[in-house]
Amino acid sequence: MDLSQYMELAFREAIKAYEKKEVPVGAVVFDSSGHVVGRGYNQVEELTDATAHAEMIALTAAMATLGAKYLNDCTLAVTLEPCPMCAGAIVNAKVGRVVFGAYDPKMGACGTVMNITASNSLNHRPEVYGGILEHKARSLLEEFFRGLRDQ
C-alpha cells in the first residue's frame, strides 16, 4: 500500500468527525502487513475530553487489537500533523512510522512548530512523512472552520 492509500483511509475517519461537528481529523494504524489495526477520529466535543484526538483513539485501538503497548512495526496515518500531546503518545508507543496530510502551523509537533518525533533526547524517533494528500486534508479543515465562522 502506498502512502496516499493510508491517507485515504484516514480521510474517511476525518469525514466521520466532520459529520459530528468535530474538528475533522482522522487517523488509522496499519500493521506491517498493511492491515488496519486501529482507527479513530476526533471526539473531543462528543466525549467532552480534550485528549480525545484521532491519533490517541487510533493508537489505543491498535494496542488493544494487537495486545501490545508498542507499535514498532506499525504506521500511523493521520490527516493533520500531530500536536505535542499526540506526538508524545507516538513516541511513547514507539510507532514505527507516521504519515500525515496537512501541516499544522499552530500546534504541529512533527517539524512545523516543534519536532518531538525527532528529538534526540527521547528514546524513540519514528520515520515521519508529511504533506501526503495535504490539499485534501487542508480543504476539509478550511471548510469546517469556515462553517463555524459563518454561524
Question: Mind listing the pLDDT tens digit for each residue in 128-144?
Answer: 999 999 999 999 999 99
Catalytic positions, written as ranges: 55
Measure Cα distances from 4 to 9, 64, 112, 121, 148 in Å.
9, 25, 21, 31, 28
Write the burial class of residue 146 (CB in 10 Å: 0-12 exposed, 13-18 middle, 19+ buried).
exposed
- Residue 127, SS3 per DSSP: strand
**pTM (two decimals):** 0.95
Question: Mind listing the pLDDT tens digit for each residue in 16-69?
Answer: 999 999 999 999 999 999 999 999 999 999 999 999 999 999 999 999 999 999
